[in-house]
């Protein structure tokens, strides 16, 4: 891919066969890995040139990530998992952070915030993962196959929650998915195996 520029606030769906590099691209954008050649930049910040600690701080300040396998801590309850980024940022979660997390959880249909995530269904775990990613209203949300483990009805519901949360936050959303219904919710899409530019989702 010679070049990819994503306008701020755009919702983009990445499509392509398994193994085509969708997850790797998300990890590059997130600064979780650095490219052997080329650069990755967020505005004026060249992420690929930053040391690991600086990339960590950038992620805390800027990014929400919905991982394919959720990366929840099963021994912790819903509230603690949603507020993990705030915990890592300040080592203290105050009343404001807890209230914000509870409000986001309610929009996701999560009510009993003291339940451990290890006993939740896959659909509930996915909602917790999305709530954690969007709770601090990040400027950038990355989602890796956010509906892959769900049936069609739950996948459509979770996809709508993700897109609505990103829109409410005014965030850029980049979503890797095989889900045609979720791709249809994106403003633009990119076929990672063949395309070098963004296409309107209606195309």
Q: Which tens digit of pLDDT belongs to each residue from 155-169? A: 898 899 899 999 999
Question: Is the confidence at residue 143, as pLDDT, over 80?
Answer: yes
Question: Is the confidence at residue 196, as pLDDT, over 70?
Answer: no
In a domain, 173, yes or no: yes
Q: Which of 38, 30, 39, 44 is nearest to 172 (CA)?
A: 30
In a domain, 110, yes or no: no
In a domain, 141, yes or no: yes
In a domain, 109, yes or no: no
Q: In what order do the strands lie in the sheet with 11-15?
A: 63-66, 140-144, 172-176, 11-15, 188-191, 199-200
CATH number at residue 27: 3.40.50.300
In a domain, 4, yes or no: no
pLDDT, position 91: 61
In a domain, 100, yes or no: no
Q: Which domain holds residue 22?
A: 11-74+121-127+137-200
Give the tens place of pLDDT for each residue, 14-72.
998 888 889 999 999 999 999 999 999 999 999 999 999 999 999 999 999 999 889 99
In a domain, 164, yes or no: yes
How many structural domains comprise the chain? 1
In a domain, 132, yes or no: no
Contacts 24+ apart (CB under 8 A), 80-84: 81/117, 81/128, 81/132, 82/113, 82/128, 82/131, 82/132, 82/135, 83/132, 83/135, 84/132
Average pLDDT over all residues of the chain: 90
């Amino acid at each position: 891919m010679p070049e990819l520029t994503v306008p701020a606030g755009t919702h983009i769906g990445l499509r392509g066969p398994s193994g085509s590099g969708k997850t790797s691209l998300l990890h590059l954008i997130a600064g979780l890995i650095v490219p052997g050649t080329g650069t990755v930049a967020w505005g004026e910040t060249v992420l690929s040139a930053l040391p690991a600690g600086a990339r960590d701080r950038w992620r805390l300040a800027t990014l929400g990530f919905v991982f394919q396998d959720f990366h929840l801590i099963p021994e912790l309850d819903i509230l603690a998992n949603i507020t993990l980024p705030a915990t890592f940022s300040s080592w203290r979660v105050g009343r404001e952070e807890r209230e914000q997390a509870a409000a986001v959880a309610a929009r996701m249909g999560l009510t009993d915030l003291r339940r451990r995530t290890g006993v939740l269904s896959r659909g509930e775990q996915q909602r917790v993962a999305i709530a954690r990613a969007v709770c601090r209203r990040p400027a950038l949300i990355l989602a890796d196959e956010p509906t892959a483990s769900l049936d069609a009805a739950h996948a459509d519901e979770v996809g709508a929650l993700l897109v609505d949360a990103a829109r409410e936050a005014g965030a850029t959303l980049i979503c890797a998915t095989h889900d045609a219904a979720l791709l249809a919710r994106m403003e633009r899409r990119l076929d990672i195996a063949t395309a070098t530019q963004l296409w309107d989702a209606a195309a």
